[in-house]
């Protein structure tokens, strides 16, 4: 029985590696954004506290980050904590605020070895000092890395982001720095927190929920969406590979009649 299981595991690994090589020959999404959902339900199914699900989800972050880096994805944005998440119970919020420090302090050596660069979008100033310090430290240590950008959306809300952009542009018009007619998509893009990043090619949301939850509403205009029933702690390399395979089979039109399928 043990030998049979070992043979199956070896076959599964070989199959995954073969699929990875095939996928790499086609167009890889430059920017993948993920709404990591289902930690609480994962824990509830196992009669465990919600925080246990969040901790297990942290392991998935590591797994998916390494896989995305290996596949040649340039940016991986993870929706870690929304501006609405402050409404959750204090004990859960406190735990979530400790996770960035635990994750980054544990895996910084691995991130450095793999050349992964840590970034963040969201209001960092509103985070607890220890959370902010952990993220800033990781960003400083990894700032010269040339591999995947691991971009955490932390205390992030897209509507607030857009309001800040509108206020900034309105002030520039009032100050005579720009004309109102000069405001276009390019100028708005330049004011976003993601101005230096490509727009997401692929959005993945786990746990079966089918909504954006105030996440990158402007940036996702032409992204491909994939919603999966898999809970975030159960999401793995095979799930991620399936998502990229599906992305490669989509016919991206960007509003035109001709698709953008390549490879």
> DSSP characters for 72-112?
T-SEEEEEEEEGGGGGS-HHHHHHHHHHHHHHHHHHHHHHH
Note whether 193 and 152 are within 8 A (CB).
no
Is 83:214 a contact under the CB 8 Å cutoff? yes
Composition of the chain by helix, strand, coil, percent to 5: 55, 15, 35
Cβ-contact 259, 252 below 8 angstroms: yes
Residues with catalytic roles: 37, 85
50-71 and 237-248 helices, crossing angle to 10°: 50
Tokens read off for 160: 């607030």
CA 143 to mean position of chain CA atoms: 18
Provide DSSP, 129-143.
HHHHHHHHHHHHHHT
């Amino acid at each position: 029985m043990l030998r049979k299981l070992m043979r199956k595991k070896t076959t599964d690994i070989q199959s995954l590696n073969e699929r990875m090589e095939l996928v790499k020959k086609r167009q890889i999404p430059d920017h993948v954004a993920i709404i990591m959902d289902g930690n609480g339900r994962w824990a509830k199914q196992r009669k465990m506290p919600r925080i246990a699900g969040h901790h297990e989800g942290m392991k998935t972050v590591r797994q998916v980050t390494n896989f995305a880096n290996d596949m040649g994805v340039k940016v991986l944005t993870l929706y870690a904590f929304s501006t609405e998440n402050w409404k959750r119970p204090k004990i859960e919020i406190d735990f979530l605020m400790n996770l960035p420090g635990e994750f980054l302090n544990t895996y910084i050596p691995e991130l450095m070895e793999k050349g992964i660069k840590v970034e963040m979008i969201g209001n960092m100033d509103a985070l607890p000092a220890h959370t902010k310090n952990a993220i800033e430290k990781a960003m400083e240590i990894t700032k010269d890395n040339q591999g995947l950008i691991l971009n955490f959306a932390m205390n992030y809300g897209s509507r607030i982001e857009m309001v800040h952009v509108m206020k900034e542009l309105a002030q520039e018009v009032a100050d005579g720095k720009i004309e109102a007619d000069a405001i276009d998509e390019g100028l708005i893009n330049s004011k976003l927190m993601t101005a230096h990043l490509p727009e997401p090619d692929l959005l993945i949301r786990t746990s079966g929920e089918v909504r954006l939850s105030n996440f990158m509403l402007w940036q996702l205009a032409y992204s491909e969406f994939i919603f999966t029933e898999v809970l975030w702690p159960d999401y793995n390399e095979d799930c991620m590979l399936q998502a990229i395979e599906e992305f490669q089979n989509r016919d991206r039109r960007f509003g035109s009649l001709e698709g953008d399928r390549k490879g």
